[in-house]
Amino acid sequence: MQARTQEASLQACSCLRSLTWPSRSFLGSLTRQTEQFSQFHGEATSFEMHYSNQQLLQQSQRNQGSSWGRDINHALSFEERHLWGLRGAMEVLGLLRLEANGLTVTVALSVALAALLTWYSTSAFSVLEKLGIRHPKPSPFIGNLTFFRQGFWDGQLELRKLYGPLCGYYLGRRMYIVISEPDMIKQVLVENFHNFTNRMVSGLEPQPVANSILCLRDKRWEEVRGVLTSVFSPEKLNEMMPLISQACDLLLAHLRRCAESGDACDIQRCYRAFATDVVASVAFGTQVDSQKDPEDPFVLHCRRFFAVSIPRPLLVLILSFPSIMVPLARILPNKNRDELNGFFTKLIRNRIAFRDQQAAEERRRDFLQMVLDARHSPSCVGVDSFDLVRDALSSAARTTDPSPPRQPRALCRPLTVDEIVGQAFLFLIAGHEIVTNTLSFATYLLATNPHCQERLLREVDLFQKRQAAPDYRSLQEGLPYLDMVIAETLRMYPPAFRFTREAARDCEVLGQQVPAGAVLEVAVGALHRDPELWPCPETFDPERFTAEAQQQRRPFTYLPFGAGPRSCLGVRLGLLEVKLTLLQILSRFRFDACSQTQVPLQLESTSALAPKNGIYIKLIPR
């Protein structure tokens, strides 16, 4: 062992002497590198070198006196550090390979990752071009998100102006094909309905929302729509009318106080409270007065429900990496979401349990009860009877060709409690904001167009004289100018100004290729503001909706409630709420614009189209 060490040391010394300067200095630098490397990459290497060196020194001390020993000693004293270096270097040659490999691997991985990310950040953005659809240039990862920085309303109008009635955009990696051409819209919503049955879902909808008919798909959607269509029949709505009237009375009491104060009031806030009271009463079977009792748990939870929004950085992440972020967001704990869902679900479950104990004739005649009554329906209406909008809007009646009647699809299983909760949620997500905003826009337009308001007031007074207690039918027939005012309000400011359909299979729509899975967005805002379809689109003119004007209008140019079998299911209820409320208010007050009224109106459109800063007007008692 000793002999082997001496031999190794000698070899080391001779090798060392034979080295030229550059080589030595190279080795020295290698040593330093090795030391540094060792410090970083493990103590074993430096410990080994230290141990070998100590052995060499001890060996030389033992052999002192002999020439061999002196040689060694000399060698050690002279080249000790270099020997150290050499030993290091010899080991380092291996390590360097490792280090070089490590570095190379790190660099290679970084380059590959950068290349992959660069590819990923734009890889989704070639589809529209391949389809020949014009669109703004997308930015890596986020697509055209910044195009909509002013909201989707302005973005949609701008998109139409720049790229025409068939165009597109990307939100993150998701492609949208935007259509605002009436014939194409008809193809998608009606003619090819079998291929465009579903709306786009993000996958982030919480459970009750995902269970609502708004998000249901294919067969289950058809079954549930069949059940719910009967719940929104005129007869059923007539039964629900007293509940809406009660909420209306609370609103009137509050407006009276506003009028008495003589101050301008934000009527949008009052309408929001009214809409909450209607949802509580009609959908959740519970009575509240949101205006008087804003801390009521139902009111508080509704406020929280509407306040939920995704922080912008998270939104960008979700849009950029949907396949990772969406499943992650679904499984990550979310206290707020769980609390909200828990509250509303428990409320409905309690109501159902309570009603199960009541005698049939004692039960409240609300939406919840009607869904409970219909949930076991053996069969119901078929797809050809789903389009309630066609019947509700006389203008739409001519738009759809009669299709051969389809067999009603029987429920393969009754509605579960979760699904019933989902349908109650519908009122929150599909009805609440939209009704609030429709009433707000109508009030603004009447206040700023006093000649229209005067004509409406005359109609209201006449109607009130004839109908002391209006019912659903008389409201439909007796207020034609109010109908025109509401229709023109929804043309100018359609709260649901964009809705989608998803292509189930590859298809062609009027010569345009549409791949399976593509999302088509119907741009109602752009359609309603198209000067070729609606001359002077910025002008409020209810005359556009006289019976004659409607007869002459090109079909599929007016879509505030959508069209076809998947159009708004609550159209009758929505119009009933808006009409009844305006009728009750205008029979007692007039709307006056004042210095606080914002003209022109600023809009917000992150979800539904809404006034940005409320609607401030004065209420003048009549």
Positions that interact with ligand HEM (CB under 6 A):
213-214, 225, 426-427, 430-431, 434-435, 438, 490, 495-496, 499, 560-563, 566-570, 573-574, 578
Distance CA 410, CA 380 (A): 7
Q: How far is the CB of 433 from ligand HEM (least distance, A)?
A: 9
Q: How far is the CB of 621 from ligand HEM (least distance, A)?
A: 27
Which of 452, 504, 475, 487 has the alpha carbon at shortest distance from 561? 487
Distance CA 216, CA 522 (A): 19
- Using the CB atoms, write b or e for 456-489: b if 16+ within 10 Å: bbebbeebeeeeeebebeebbebbebbbbbbbbb
572 near 392, Cβ under 8 Å? yes
Q: How far is the CB of 440 from ligand HEM (least distance, A)?
A: 11
Q: How far is the CB of 352 from ligand HEM (least distance, A)?
A: 19
Q: Which is nearer to ligand HEM, 60 or 229 (CB)?
A: 229
321 near 116, Cβ under 8 Å? no
Specify whether the backbone of 136 is left (phi greater than 0), alpha (psi in -120 to 50) or beta: beta
Q: Which is nearer to ligand HEM, 247 or 578 (CB)?
A: 578
Q: How far is the CB of 103 from ligand HEM (least distance, A)?
A: 57
Q: How far is the CB of 380 from ligand HEM (least distance, A)?
A: 14
Q: Which is nearer to ligand HEM, 156 or 438 (CB)?
A: 438
Q: Which is nearer to ligand HEM, 302 or 490 (CB)?
A: 490
DSSP label at residue 597:
S
Specify whether the backbone of 42 is left (phi greater than 0), alpha (psi in -120 to 50) or beta: left
Q: Which is nearer to ligand HEM, 208 or 574 (CB)?
A: 574
Distance CA 389, CA 598 (A): 32
CA dihedral 292, 296, 300, 302 (to 10 degrees): -80
Q: Which is nearer to ligand HEM, 167 or 522 (CB)?
A: 522
505-513: Cβ within 8 A, 24+ apart: 505/195, 507/192, 507/195, 509/184, 509/187, 509/188, 509/192, 510/183, 510/184, 510/187, 512/131, 512/132, 512/133, 512/166, 512/177, 512/184, 513/131
The answer to whether the annotation marks 380 as part of a ligand binding site is no
- Retrieve residue 426's tokens: 């519908």
Q: How far is the CB of 105 from ligand HEM (least distance, A)?
A: 52
Q: What is the 3-state secondary structure (H, E, C) of 509-539?
A: ECCEEECCCCEEEEEHHHHHCCCCCCCCCCC
Task: Identify the bridge partners of residue 595 per DSSP, sorted by sequence position.
Answer: none
Q: How far is the CB of 572 from ligand HEM (least distance, A)?
A: 9
Q: Which is nearer to ligand HEM, 124 or 283 (CB)?
A: 283
Q: Which is nearer to ligand HEM, 169 or 386 (CB)?
A: 386
DSSP for 141-205 reads TTBTGGGGTT-HHHHHHHHHHHH-SEEEEEETTEEEEEE--HHHHHIIIIITGGGS-BPP--S--
Continuous segment of H or E residues that includes residue 603: strand 603-604
Which of 282, 277, 244 has the alpha carbon at shortest distance from 366? 282
Q: How far is the CB of 428 from ligand HEM (least distance, A)?
A: 9
Task: Identify the bridge partners of residue 178 per DSSP, sorted by sequence position.
Answer: 167, 521
Q: How far is the CB of 453 from ligand HEM (least distance, A)?
A: 20
| Sequence-ordered alpha helix ranges (H) in 478-603 | 480-492, 524-528, 547-552, 571-586
Q: Which is nearer to ligand HEM, 544 or 566 (CB)?
A: 566
SS3 category, 134: strand
Q: How far is the CB of 328 from ligand HEM (least distance, A)?
A: 28
522 near 500, Cβ under 8 Å? yes
Q: Which is nearer to ligand HEM, 259 or 426 (CB)?
A: 426
Distance CA 250, CA 435 (A): 17
Q: Which is nearer to ligand HEM, 138 or 431 (CB)?
A: 431
Annotated binding site: 568
Annotated binding site for heme: 568
